[in-house]
Amino acid sequence: MSKPVGAGVLLLCLAASALAQPDPRQMSGIPRSDPNLSDGSITVRVIRGSFANDVAGQTVELRAGDRASTAETDGEGRATFLTLNPGEQVTVATELDGVELESLPFAAPGRGGVAVLLVGASGDPGDADARSAARPGRVTLSQESRILIELGEEQIEVYYLLDVFNQSPWPVEPEPPFEFRLPPGAQAGTVLGGSTPRTLVDGPRVWVQGTFEPGVTPVHVASILPYSGDGLVLSQVFPADFEQLLVFVEQWGALDVASAQIERRGEMGADETGLSALIWGAGRRVPAGEPVVLELSGLPHHSGWPRIVTLALSALIVVIGMVGSAGAKGPAGPDWREDLERRREKLFTDLVKVERQHRQGRIKATRYGTRRAELIDQLQNVLRELDDDLAVGAAAVPGRAPA
């Protein structure tokens, strides 16, 4: 009896070991520190479906920023790299059976090494079905994602050009859901051309319906953010890690952008961009939920007094018009008064136009002062004549005293 019992215990142990064996697809692309490797080394093992199917002779890339180096897998499916810049953010990737497999970003090792497993499909129909089924997982904002800020009239236009990256070989249902809100005060949120049709904007809410397929899904949205004064703080939270913060701001006068999250910055001339000159800033990885905070200074803005004068004149005209319409017509007749009212409206329109031209720098200071004084003088004369006509009309009505 002892032999069957011993054999049964052995079989149970083997079965338990098999059940405890992790699914290699769940481990794909996840870097793992390995102190048994030589210092500064990275090994990448490429398999199809299971650990029994090593892929030999497969080209693997080690990517560091804009640089890439390659190595081929050996008979055990392993490619080995030796890094020269410890701490540098890198990824490893390969294209297997028409599908790109890429790791999560990780720091190049100094002491010890890093081992990465890249798992492709086995080719079995059941494996293909499994790959097509969505699973809970995470997505990131790739290094191609960027924030672009352009200037408008007392407002900035903010463009979020996001490339959402799913590094898994199967569709992912993001956890947390891919949804964020535009900053307080943002207006006219809209979906841009080139964005996935599943991108939706409702007021300040932005979200993507459905799952994210393997690879990159573009999510491009924009909004307008009004400002007053020469400074503005833009704070935006994203639902996925920003692999590398990248910001472009339209250059204008003394305009500048600052952020504790920006580590490198520079400028691009109009000849480089083909449009406007830009200030650019690049920074570290920003985890999901951490606000991206950008401080803009030197924004072009206008003094408030022209607007106050304009509003005061507008209010005065409205009051006179209301009183005039309630009173009787003067002895000069309705045509004469209507002509004065038309002149009043035209002078007011010309005054607003001159103020706008001055703010936009389209009229010199001397010409602006002279023209403005002329218009105000003419407008005062018209208002005086309208007021005199109103007084005469009131005296002509029995029982009404002159104003």
The answer to whether domain 18-128 and domain 140-297 are alike in fold is yes
pLDDT at 62 over 70: yes
Residue 63 Cα distances to 24, 70, 88, 109, angstroms:
23, 9, 10, 14
* Spatial distance between the Cα atoms of 237 and 242, rounded to a whole number of angstroms: 10
Tokens of 208: 């993507």
CB half-sphere exposure, 134, CA atoms < 13 A: 11
Q: What's the mean pLDDT in 140-154?
A: 90
pLDDT at 330 over 50: no
Residues 348/321, Cβ–Cβ less than 8 Å: no
What's the pTM? 0.49
∠ CA 393-397-402, nearest 5°, is 60
Name which of 113, 87, 116, 107 is nearest 29 in CA terms: 116
Name the band, by pLDDT with cuts 50, 70 and 90, for residue 15: very low
Helix (H, G, I), strand (E, B) or coil at 120: strand
Name the band, by pLDDT with cuts 50, 70 and 90, for residue 301: low
Domain ranges of the chain: 18-128, 140-297, 305-396
pLDDT at 4 over 80: no
* Lowest-pLDDT range of 13-17, 179-183, 236-240, 332-336: 13-17
pLDDT tens readout for residues 341-358: 788 878 877 777 777 666
Structurally, at CATH architecture level, domain 140-297 sits in Sandwich (2.60)
β-pairing verdict for 59-64 and 89-96: antiparallel
Q: What is the CA radius of gyration of the chain?
A: 35
- The CATH code of the domain at 18-128 is 2.60.40.10
pLDDT tens readout for residues 101-130: 999 999 999 989 999 999 987 655 555 555
Tokens of 270: 């109009």
∠ CA 322-328-329, nearest 5°, is 100
